[in-house]
Structure 1
Amino acid sequence: MKKVLVIEDQVVLREFICRLLRDFPTLKLEEACGDGQEGWKAYERIRPEFVILDVFLPGLNGVEILRRLKRDNPDVLVMGFSAFPNRRIVKDMIEAGADGLVQKSEGLDVLEKAIAMVANGQTFYSPNVSSMLKQIMLNPDQADSMAGLSGREKEILQLIAESNSNKEIADKLHISVKTAETHRNNIMRKLDIHDAVGLTRYAIENGLISGTLYE
């Protein structure tokens, strides 16, 4: 049996996926988490073969977790799961090594098929995601990731957009406050954005966090 880790911040959906996994005799749910940092720690602890991963997560976003998973173990199977995928998210998830990617609104039958195929070592992209992939192939320049930001800077940008102070960022990432301040300043310089509101808007527009922009 394959050990499974679920990382999904919406409680109802997380519990639904956990119950759904009972219908798969070759899969064994080991743990379910609602936070990106907790999810990474759970992975290190239980070493699952299959991870069901939300893209938008507090603490550490799904794209960064996926990169870490594939660096640590290229053979781990990962199915991405997103409520609001856009071309940038799809491109980043595919480039990071997602074995499958599903839009949450596409229905139970799609989700069941995705779990079955990815757990069996196959690739699965849901219909809406497949449509975006075709658009990316036709117009690759329109789906460029955030140019110039390192993985650590994207991680810190997400935490800034989630209203974390420099001290809170330092505590969560186990770095000094001075280092957190330096990263914040570098991000602002590279993006030419010089306030937290602007950084939050940028993070939402580029798929680091979910949210609504109000004009």
Structure 2
Amino acid sequence: MLKILVADDHPSFRRGVKDILADGFEAVKVGECGTAQELLEQVRHKKWDLVVMDISMPGRSGLEALKALKAERPTVPVLVLSMHPEDQYAIRMFKAGADGYLTKASAPEELVHAVKKLLAGGHYVSASLGEKLVQSVKQGTEKPPHELLSDREFEVLCLIGSGKTVSEIAEVMHLSVTTISTYRARILAKMRMKTNAELTRYVIQHGLGL
């Protein structure tokens, strides 16, 4: 029997994915979890054929959770299913270890197709993302400032953009206030900005945010 784990903090969405998978596969057992910690515990203690996960979950960020998951189970295929735009997050998630990326607006049959491709040992990107990547390579497009940030810096940028203070970000990321302040200084330098207000405006304009 095929075993798939769905990690998302919205029970109704997990139920929808579960129903789609049940319709798309004859024999499938779908597990559920709602936080990054639960995801890692499930992966650590049970054997799964594939994981479908969101980027935004309580606890660790999706990037950190994905890296930790791959450290525990490097051979388990991971499909990221997120509300965030492909062109903003997909490449970063692939670098962190994802095997496929879909937005939640994708059709049910595309989800089933993506899962089948990953189970067969392949990778999955949508046609629209593939086209964007080709255009980017052909045009030699200059990278936007946020793509110059490390994963940690990118997470801090998104949290600043969501209105969180340095202290709140330190609590969320389980780091010291001093460390977060250092990240913030690096972000401002790399983005060539001076205030949190400028960073927040950038995050909103580019559709970022965890």
> TM-score, normalization: structure 1?
0.75
5 Å-filtered alignment, 1:66-215, equals: 66-142=66-142, 146-205=146-205, 208-209=208-209
Counterparts in 2 of 1:132 and 1:60: CA distance versus 1, 3 Å: farther
User: CA offsets per residue over residues 23-78 of structure 1, 9 Å max, x none?
Assistant: 43554322232xxxx22x12321114422123455765544443443344321211
Counterparts in 2 of 1:14 and 1:135: CA distance versus 1, 3 Å: farther
Tell me if the contact between 1:100 and 1:114 (Cα under 8 Å) persists in the aligned partners. yes
* Range that drifts further, 96-105 or 141-150: 141-150
Are 2:39 and 1:43 equivalent residues in the alignment?
yes
Counterparts in 2 of 1:11 and 1:209: CA distance versus 1, 3 Å: farther
Q: Secondary structure at the match of 2:80?
A: strand
CA distance in 1, matches of 2:8, 2:130: 22
Tell me if the contact between 1:170 and 1:176 (Cα under 8 Å) persists in the aligned partners. yes
- Aligned letter for 1:69? L
Q: Secondary structure at the match of 1:125?
A: coil
CA distance in 1, matches of 2:191, 2:144: 15
Equivalent residues, number: 205
CA distance in 2, matches of 1:123, 1:164: 35
Tell me if the contact between 2:86 and 2:101 (Cα under 8 Å) persists in the aligned partners. no
Indicate the residue corresponding to 1:29 in structure 2: 30
Tell me if the contact between 1:170 and 1:180 (Cα under 8 Å) persists in the aligned partners. yes
Tell me if the contact between 2:79 and 2:115 (Cα under 8 Å) persists in the aligned partners. yes
User: CA offsets per residue over residues 66-92 of structure 1, 9 Å max, x none?
Assistant: 344334432121112244534343332
Tell me if the contact between 2:60 and 2:173 (Cα under 8 Å) persists in the aligned partners. no
CA distance in 1, matches of 2:199, 2:151: 16
CA distance in 2, matches of 1:206, 1:186: 19
Tell me if the contact between 1:61 and 1:208 (Cα under 8 Å) persists in the aligned partners. no
- Aligned letter for 2:42? I
Counterparts in 2 of 1:181 and 1:92: CA distance versus 1, 3 Å: closer
Please, what is the CA RMSD of the aligned residues? Answer: 3.0
Tell me if the contact between 1:79 and 1:115 (Cα under 8 Å) persists in the aligned partners. yes
Identity of aligned residues (%): 31
CA distance in 1, matches of 2:59, 2:196: 17
Counterparts in 2 of 1:151 and 1:201: CA distance versus 1, 3 Å: same
